[in-house]
Every structure is written in structure tokens, then in C-alpha cells.
């Protein structure tokens, strides 16, 4: 006879997903169920335990103290089960690991370097997940992520990967040499996924430069297109120099003047449950080695 007096596993799984997302809708999408089914399973679990696990609001749900107590060990338990299943499953080829990051970081920094990873680690198939919205690493969609931000990621381990500095860059053919030249060329901007008072955009740059702001003529939904527009000679873009480094070294872009505005760093993060995974550790070490080769201009 088993001594484990557990509620139904399906109800525990529904609770863990809903607690991780703080959303019945997102939990339902992950588990291929309806939000109504998720709500029903959680109600069953609450009745079984005799406590309320969520405070249900109009647009979101929050964990009660009981839910906050139950969630971490359940999350870690499901993570441990997933690792155990992966360990005993026969492998017929390279192990697939997913690295999630922004579209701009993937296209401008990672893609030119992936061939080196494949050559050095033929037993790992590193797949990229690109999205400006952070992926939930505890949900199994990815094992690692590179995130632009302040570096505080509860439930995850992380290390700084690359610093960020933003400055005007443009194609050499524009013949932009000093700040006065900005009055005769288009300014290129892009939409930020999240903004705050320190977002390094054109208004902040003009403030740091001690100049009256000029209007943008070209605006893109993402940073990738802003960089490509600058390379094509369509104007001057205020770009993260870490992402423009290869184009600057090759001469496709040049940085005619400052000032440089500091942004948040890129951080490499992963779930605490995967901290001892040897393959995840190899990917981390490779990324840190690649970042260490980047020039650190003053």
C-alpha cells in the first residue's frame, strides 16, 4: 500500500500550470485544455484540500498563501519528473536544447555564431526560440534564455552576458560626421516591448547630448528592421552597439559620434532545476566564451 495520499495528478498539473502563468487561459493553452476545464480541476483540488488556492479577479488570478506554499514544490517536482523521463528515454541523435531570446539578438548576434557551436558540440542540437515576450522556462518551451533587462528573474539562475550601450550608427555613404548632420538625414526608431524613464530612445539621447530633439522620420515595429534600414543607408539609427558590433567591424555601419547611452544588460538565464544539467552547462559556457571575445571599448 502506498503512503502517498495525493490528489489527482491532473488537478495538480492544472494548478501548477495556472500558478506559473497566473492565468487559467495560458495554463489551458499549455495543457491543450479549455479554461473552463482548468477552472473545474482547480475547484476539485481546492475542495479536496479544503483551502482556496487562487484569488480570482476580473482579468487575472493570484495565489493565496496556501497556493504560494503549494506551488514551488509542485513546480520542482514536475521539473524533476521531466528530467527523469528524459534521462531514461533512448536517444537516437543529438539532444535538442532550446534557447529563447529576442528577435534582434538572435538575428544580429546569435545566428552568425551558431555554426561554431554546431562544430564544437555535434551532440547538441541548439534550436532558437525568438520572441520579444519572455518565454516561461519552467513550462519546458526552452531550457535557457537570453533576456534584456535589469537582471532580476525570480525562480531562475542567471549571469550577465553582454552590456548594452546605445549610440547613433549609419552607413558610411550617408557622410554623417557630426551632430549637425542629423538635421539633413532621417532618424530611424523602433518600438520597444517595454518602456520606462531610462529607455535609450532618441528623446533620451538628445537630452544626454544637450540638444533639442528632432522628429523621427522612419519608425519600425522591431529593432531588426531598424538595423537593416541603417545598413541600407536609409538614415541614422539609435542602436544597441552589442548588436551592431559585427556590422561596425565589417564597415557596413559606422558610429560617427556620441554620446553613448547605457541600457540594460543582456542576461543568460535558466531554471534552477537545470543548474546541474551538463549539456545546459556546456551551452552556457559556450555563450559566455563567445561574449568574452566581444570588444570592450571604453
Grid coordinates representing 195 are 518602456
Q: Is residue 281's pLDDT more than 90?
A: yes
Is the sign of the CA dihedral 16, 19, 25, 29 positive or negative?
negative
Grid coordinates representing 220 are 519600425
Q: Is residue 82's pLDDT more than 50?
A: yes
Average per-residue pLDDT for the chain: 89
Q: Is residue 298's pLDDT more than 60?
A: no
pLDDT at 145: 95
pLDDT at 1: 46
The predicted model gives 45-53 an average pLDDT of 93
Q: 9-88: what fold? A: Arc Repressor Mutant, subunit A (1.10.10)
The predicted model gives 239-258 an average pLDDT of 94
Task: Say what percent of the chain tops pLDDT 70.
Answer: 96
Q: What letter does residue 296 receive in the DSSP assignment? A: -
pLDDT at 164: 93
Q: Is residue 177's pLDDT more than 70?
A: yes
pLDDT at 22: 85
pLDDT at 241: 95
Grid coordinates representing 57 are 479577479
Q: Three-state secondary structure along 6-73?
A: CCCHHHHHHHHHHHHHCCHHHHHHHHCCCHHHHHHHHHHHHHHHCCCCEEECCCCEEECHHHHHHHHH
Collapsed DSSP state (helix, strand, coil) of residue 129: strand
CB-CB contact of 137 with 280 (8 Å): no
- CATH architecture for residues 165-262: 3-Layer(aba) Sandwich (3.40)
Q: How confident is the model at residue 83 (pLDDT cuts 50, 70, 90)?
A: confident
Say if 95-163+265-292 and 165-262 have the same CATH topology. yes
pLDDT tens-digit readout, 2-28: 567 788 889 999 999 888 888 888 888
Q: Is residue 173's pLDDT more than 50?
A: yes
Q: How confident is the model at residue 267 (pLDDT cuts 50, 70, 90)?
A: very high
pLDDT at 27: 85
Collapsed DSSP state (helix, strand, coil) of residue 263: coil
- CATH architecture for residues 95-163+265-292: 3-Layer(aba) Sandwich (3.40)
pLDDT at 295: 65
Enumerate the domain spans of the chain: 9-88, 95-163+265-292, 165-262
pLDDT at 296: 56
Q: Is residue 171's pLDDT more than 80?
A: yes
Amino acid at each position: 500500500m502506498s503512503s502517498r495520499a495525493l490528489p489527482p495528478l491532473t488537478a495538480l498539473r492544472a494548478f501548477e500550470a495556472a500558478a506559473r502563468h497566473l492565468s487559467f487561459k495560458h495554463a489551458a493553452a499549455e495543457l491543450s485544455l479549455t479554461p473552463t476545464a482548468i477552472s473545474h480541476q482547480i475547484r476539485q483540488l481546492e475542495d479536496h484540500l479544503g483551502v482556496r488556492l487562487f484569488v480570482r479577479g476580473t482579468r487575472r488570478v493570484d495565489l493565496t498563501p496556501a497556493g504560494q506554499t503549494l506551488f514551488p514544490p509542485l513546480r520542482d517536482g514536475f521539473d524533476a519528473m521531466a528530467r527523469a523521463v528524459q534521462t531514461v528515454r533512448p536517444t537516437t541523435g543529438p539532444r535538442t536544447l532550446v534557447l529563447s531570446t529576442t528577435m534582434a539578438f538572435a538575428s544580429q548576434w546569435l545566428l552568425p555564431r551558431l555554426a561554431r557551436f554546431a562544430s564544437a558540440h555535434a551532440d547538441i542540437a541548439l534550436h532558437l526560440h525568438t520572441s520579444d515576450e519572455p518565454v516561461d522556462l519552467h513550462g519546458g518551451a526552452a531550457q535557457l534564455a537570453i533576456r534584456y533587462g535589469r537582471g532580476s528573474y525570480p525562480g531562475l539562475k542567471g549571469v550577465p552576458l553582454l552590456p548594452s550601450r546605445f549610440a547613433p550608427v549609419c552607413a558610411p555613404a550617408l557622410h554623417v560626421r557630426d551632430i549637425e548632420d542629423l538635421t539633413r538625414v532621417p532618424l530611424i526608431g523602433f518600438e520597444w516591448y517595454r518602456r520606462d524613464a531610462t529607455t535609450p530612445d532618441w528623446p533620451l539621447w538628445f537630452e544626454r547630448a544637450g540638444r533639442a530633439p528632432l522628429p523621427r522620420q522612419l519608425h519600425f515595429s522591431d529593432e531588426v528592421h531598424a538595423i537593416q534600414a541603417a545598413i541600407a543607408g536609409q538614415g541614422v539609427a539609435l542602436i544597441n552597439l552589442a548588436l551592431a558590433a559585427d556590422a561596425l567591424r565589417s564597415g557596413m555601419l559606422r558610429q560617427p559620434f556620441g554620446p553613448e547611452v547605457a541600457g540594460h544588460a543582456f542576461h543568460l538565464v535558466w531554471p534552477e532545476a537545470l543548474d546541474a544539467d551538463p549539456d545546459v552547462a556546456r551551452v552556457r559556457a559556450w555563450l559566455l566564451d563567445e561574449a568574452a571575445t566581444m570588444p570592450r571599448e571604453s
